[in-house]
Amino acid sequence: MSVFEVEQGSSPVILAFPHTGTDVPADIREKLNDNGKILADTDWHIHRLYDGLLPGATTVRALFHRYVIDANRDPSGQSLYPGQNTTGLVPVTDFDGKPIWLDGQEPDETEVSRRQQQFHTPYHAALRAEIDRVKAIHGVAVLYDCHSIRSHIPFLFEGKLPDFNIGTNSGTTCDPRIERAVADVCENAIGFTSVLNGRFRGGWTTRHYANLPENIHAVQMELAQSTHLASEELPFAYDETVAAPLRAHLKDILQNIEKIAFDLAKGN
């Protein structure tokens, strides 16, 4: 199976999709229990949601499911949210804290290492290559990491998640103008809620690649799935009518980021 897909563009903006893949090799799938085989924790249809919003943007998409290995986790296994419920490099539970593997079939350290080499490492090598390519062209690169999650998950957070969840690790992963441009669109989006560096402050991808002295900037956007799905339960269908207003705001966000990137490339 293919590990990732890349569409190279000419913009300084790169869209990363670490969690939209649903491919699970047969030898791994047979070890999942019935709950795991639902693949409920997929970022359903996020690559479709962003499709065509910023012509020229490069996209890097993992095709494997996060239950194979999570492409947005530190390969060391260290948690980015100490003291909070979360899932690991290779999850053993879903986002509700329920087991996803058959009894005795949870991956051991050797299996985790194998999956890291087969899936996690190649995906990030491809993402790094695109960041380097875009940076070489423009002198600047902005990585926009695309995510979604159910709006109600008591195991991970209390209450209802805001629609837009912007993560810049407390302003350390991007130029303040980028952070402000994203937040302004979200805060002024009528009918939507938003938060900056709330429960989701930016995952490993955002924190790992951001390098402001080198003019490499990163932002994570975690969207509540209620903003674009017909239902946050099976079959997790995409709803074009529901998604249309969201797409308009996301387009504004990406266009604003691109304009700022061009300014940064000029030294402004």
Strands 164-167 and 13-17, sheet pairing: unpaired
Judge residue 249's burial from the number of C-beta atoms within 10 Å of its C-beta, 0-12 exposed, 13-18 middle, 19 or more buried.
buried
- pLDDT given for residue 81 in this prediction: 65
Domain extents for the chain?
A: 4-267
- pLDDT given for residue 146 in this prediction: 98
What is the full per-residue pLDDT of the chain (268 aa) written as tens digits? 799 999 999 999 999 999 999 999 999 999 999 999 999 999 999 999 999 999 999 999 999 999 999 999 999 877 666 666 567 899 999 999 999 999 999 999 999 999 999 999 999 999 999 999 999 999 999 999 999 999 999 888 889 999 999 999 999 999 999 999 999 999 999 999 999 999 899 999 999 999 999 999 999 999 999 999 999 999 999 999 999 999 999 999 999 999 999 999 988 6
- pLDDT given for residue 155 in this prediction: 87
- Give the tokens for residue 14: 């790169």
Max intra-chain CA distance, the chain: 57
Instruction: Tell me the torsion sign for CA atoms 56, 54, 149, 83.
Output: positive
List Cβ<8 Å contacts ≥24 apart for 236-240: 236/40, 236/42, 236/44, 236/45, 238/44, 238/45, 238/48, 238/49
- For domain 4-267, give the fold: Aminopeptidase (3.40.630)
Euclidean distance between the first and the last CA atom of the chain, given in angstroms as a whole number: 44
- Give the tokens for residue 203: 């995952």
Query: Do the Cβ atoms of 31 and 100 come closer than 8 Å?
Result: no
